[in-house]
């Protein structure tokens, strides 16, 4: 298994467990996460803005579902496509692309087509 694949596997596992400490171990100190709404620079901004105030808050739901549809690893790059449903949001189509160097995520992009659940 490549380092890229093992980092991605750890990332998915810790995300599923909503393990903020574990997931942040995957990021380089100066990592960047780019979304359609905001750019998060550095691990503290990523932790607070992208995870704790964003995805973790939405997925902190015992009935949340997550389905990984596609996973591709090529060298330093990992690409996933997924969909999910929480009590607040349906993620009809979501995708992340990761650049992983020396065992750490140095950049990530995230985009999703979502709808609010009533």
Residue 69's Cα: distance from chain center in Å?
14
- Residue 74 has a CB neighbour count (10 Å cut-off) of 9
d(CA 102, CA 13): 20
Three-state secondary structure call for residue 9: helix
CA dihedral sign, ordered 97, 19, 84, 33:
negative
Ordered structural domains, the chain, with CATH: 3-116 (3.10.450.50)
- What tens-digit pLDDT sequence spans the chain (118 residues)? 569 999 999 999 999 999 999 999 999 999 999 999 999 999 999 999 998 888 888 898 889 999 999 999 999 999 999 999 999 999 999 999 999 999 999 999 999 999 999 7
Give the residue among 25, 21, 17 at the shortest CA–CA distance from 59. Answer: 17
């Amino acid at each position: 298994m490549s380092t890229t694949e093992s980092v991605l596997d750890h990332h998915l596992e810790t995300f599923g467990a909503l393990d903020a400490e574990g997931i942040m171990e995957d990021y380089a100190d100066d990592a960047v996460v780019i979304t359609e709404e905001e750019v998060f620079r550095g691990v503290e901004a990523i932790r607070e803005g992208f995870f704790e105030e964003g995805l973790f808050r939405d997925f902190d739901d015992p009935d949340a579902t997550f389905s990984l549809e596609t996973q591709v690893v090529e060298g330093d790059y990992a690409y996933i496509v997924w969909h999910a449903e929480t009590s607040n949001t349906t993620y009809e189509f979501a995708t992340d692309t990761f650049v992983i160097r020396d065992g750490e995520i140095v950049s990530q992009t995230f985009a999703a087509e979502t709808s609010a659940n009533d």
